[in-house]
Chain A
Amino acid sequence: DAMVIQNPRYQVTQFGKPVTLSCSQTLNHNVMYWYQQKSSQAPKLLFHYYDKDFNNEADTPDNFQSRRPNTSFCFLDIRSPGLGDAAMYLCATSSATFSSYEQYFGPGTRLTVT
């Protein structure tokens, strides 16, 4: 089945140690999104790619970066994780920038910072 895959499902990193989360999709969608969801809060958009064009939300910290080497893959890099970055990170895709009524979400990666 076509889907959005996130690996790993659980990631533990140390304070200040760079970490990379990955997302892949078999839907061939041209838009990929990264959301951060802290405990008991709603998902919050960090940035998205429309094809290779990167769009950063104004309040996304510089500590968060993203790469999209091809249509299928997108990575979230946290350069120096702090305790406040512990959260669920959700990847989503859609077929066109915001015009699609549906975003397809992956299962998320839960990041723990020790």
Chain B
Amino acid sequence: DAKTTQPTSMDCAEGRAANLPCNHSTISGNEYVYWYRQIHSQGPQYIIHGLKNNETNEMASLIITEDRKSSTLILPHATLRDTAVYYCIVRIYGQNFVFGPGTRLSVLP
């Protein structure tokens, strides 16, 4: 079973930052937080992952709370092409990726 809870859906205006929350209150010390997204009719795509520290790459930023019970994925300047289902996954080394229902993000013009 997925170990995360996410909003079912969110809207974001084009050009604005999209902030997608994820709760993982039962996360253990050696579990990483991963984010993937799935654009309609495509396979999922890796975005970013982290353990404790905040992370940033060319796609997004990941903010993890100090107690690690929640995190936020930030798309700094959302475009229409960022419309997708975003999956937050917690995973320990050696385990499967278990996808939950995710958040359906709609970027509006």
Contact = CB atoms under 8 A, between A and B. Distances in A.
A56 interface: no
B95 A43 contact: no
A101 B96 CA distance: 11
Interface residues of B, number: 23
A26 to B, nearest CB: 15
A90 B41 CA distance: 11
B43 A98 contact: no
A91 B87 CA distance: 17
Nearest to A55: B96
Nearest 6 A/B pairs, CB to CB = A105-B43, A42-B99, A102-B46, A98-B94, A43-B99, A101-B49
B94 A90 contact: no
Interface of A: 4, 41-45, 57, 90-92, 97-99, 101-108
The interface residues of chain A, by DSSP majority, are classed as loop
Contacts of A44: 99
Interface of B: 2, 32, 34, 38, 41-46, 49, 87, 91, 93-102
A43 B94 contact: no
A62 to B, nearest CB: 20
Contacts of B93: 98-99
12 contacts: A43-B38, A44-B99, A45-B96, A45-B97, A91-B43, A98-B91, A101-B32, A101-B34, A101-B46, A103-B46, A105-B44, A106-B43
B91 to A, nearest CB: 8
A90 B87 CA distance: 16
Nearest to A106: B43
